Amino acid sequence: MDPWQLQITVFAIALSVALITVPLCRALAWKINFLDKPLSEGHKQHGKATPVLGGLGMVSAWLGTIGGGLALAAVGCAYIPAEIIHGIGPGSDKFDQLMIICGGVVAFLVLGMWDDRRPMSAKVKLSGQMLILLVVAHWGVHIDMLSGHPYLSTLVCWAWMLVILNAINILDNMDGLVAGIGTIASLFFGAAAAIQGQFLVGMLSAVTCAVCCGFWFYNRNPASIFMGDAGSHFVGFMLGVQGFLVTWSNGSAEKAALPMLLPFLILAIPIFDLAAVIIIRLSNKKPIYIGDHNHISHRFVRMGFSRRNAVRLIHLLTFVIGAGALALLRCSPAVGMILCAQAIGLLIFITILHHTQETKS
């Protein structure tokens, strides 16, 4: 079984599980009153109470698929390739890394669900994020070319994951938006992993892609369930981990400089949105941690797009830039620079459109 076959198989299994766990958590949320009620926070505009246990459904499917695979590997299932069993099964170095990542997923589920139930202050939530990511960065992931500088490697890993986590967390403001971005980005990370023969990150990407896709069916407009902070923390954490592992850890970063840019292009839209929101809030002399309606999705709506079409446009932009990013693994430096220039030009074009619209209004 080659990497592509393995990922497709894992995707199908995880998708099937997610299509079951998400509606179960939706029903549970109604029973225990775990709901996101209209105008519960100033920047929220949904019209009716909505279950907000989507994060639990996503993580349950993710952990169930990963756990089931590890159980089969432990008993030496004939359907799992021997290189997988020995490469990431119990007793291997990758197994320890996987356990740290799973621990991070569970920790962010707890942190997010707590915030969904009893909203915590920005400082407390950020402190929790920083602590969890510090553990993952120190024991779970590392940069190969900084192996001689473990503390610097930990700092870079920690900073990268913190940025991506919060970029995804604050971008979760419209039905289906983050679920779609998680699906598309994980798809490209999985493809990059398959090209390089990386089984661990390939399986992580396949499961995350499937879980996000399965959740999207219930979260697309009009959403019948929200992922909440639990879900957005899970997606942001896993996208940060995938982006890190696919090129900076056992990837192509040691062979060429261009592949190091692959995560930045695949996650260009969330990074762009985070930077834009911070700049807008600082220019308006407002705290950067207070939610508002200046995200890329909101600005597309103000340009005249419906909320559904604004989400679709963001998904299309994510796909277009991400598809070009895969070429960085095999292209010449000249072609890679052109692809990066195109991505930057597209983001500048979007910025000009938004600025022009805001000036007219």
**pLDDT of 242:** 95
Give the span between the Cα atoms of 129 and 61, in whole angstroms.
22
Can you give the residue ranges of every domain in the chain? 3-360
Of the candidate ranges 8-12, 295-299, 339-343, 355-359, the one whose mean pLDDT is the lowest: 355-359
Checking if the pLDDT of 301 tops 60, the result is yes
Give 174's DSSP letter.
S
Q: Is residue 331 over pLDDT 70? A: yes
Which is nearest to 361 in space by CA: 293, 285, 282?
Answer: 293
Q: Using CA atoms, how far apart are residues 55 and 178, in angstroms rounded to an integer?
A: 12
- Spatial contact of 129 and 114, defined as CB atoms under 8 Å apart: no
Task: Please check whether residue 204 is in contact with residue 238, taking contact to mean a CB–CB distance below 8 angstroms.
Answer: yes
Residue 48 has pLDDT above 90, yes or no: no
272 vs 248, higher pLDDT: 272
Beta strands in the chain (DSSP E): 35-36, 50-51
pTM of the model: 0.93
Q: How many CB atoms lie within 10 A of CB 300?
A: 24
Structure-block tokens of residue 65: 């698929």
> Pick the residue with more confidence: 141 or 112?
112
Of 68, 301, 58, which is closest to residue 203 (Cα–Cα)?
A: 68
Does 69 have pLDDT greater than 90? no
What are the tens digits of pLDDT across the range 261-274? 899 999 999 999 99
Band of the pLDDT at 40, cuts 50, 70, 90? low
Q: Which of 97-111, 135-149, 308-322, 338-352 has the lowest mean pLDDT?
A: 135-149
Distance CA 283, CA 256 (A): 38
User: Among 58-62, 83-87, 104-108, 192-196, whose mean pLDDT is lowest?
Assistant: 83-87
In angstroms, rounded to a whole number, what is the distance separating the alpha carbons of residues 176 and 305?
16
In order of 86, 102, 175, the CA distances from 54 in angstroms are 34, 18, 12
Q: Give yes or no for a contact between 58 and 227, defined as CB atoms under 8 angstroms apart.
A: yes
Measured CA distances, 130 to 95, 104, 136, 207, 269 (Å): 24, 11, 10, 25, 23
State the pLDDT confidence band at 253, using cuts at 50, 70 and 90.
Answer: very low
Q: Which long-range contacts (CB under 8 A, 24 or more apart) does 83-91 make?
A: 83/199, 84/6, 84/199, 87/199, 87/200, 88/199, 88/200, 88/203
- pLDDT above 70 for 77: no
> What value does the mean pLDDT of the chain take?
89
Mean pLDDT value of segment 284-295: 86
Q: Which DSSP state fits 63?
A: H
- Residue 294 and residue 305: Cα distance in Å, rounded? 15
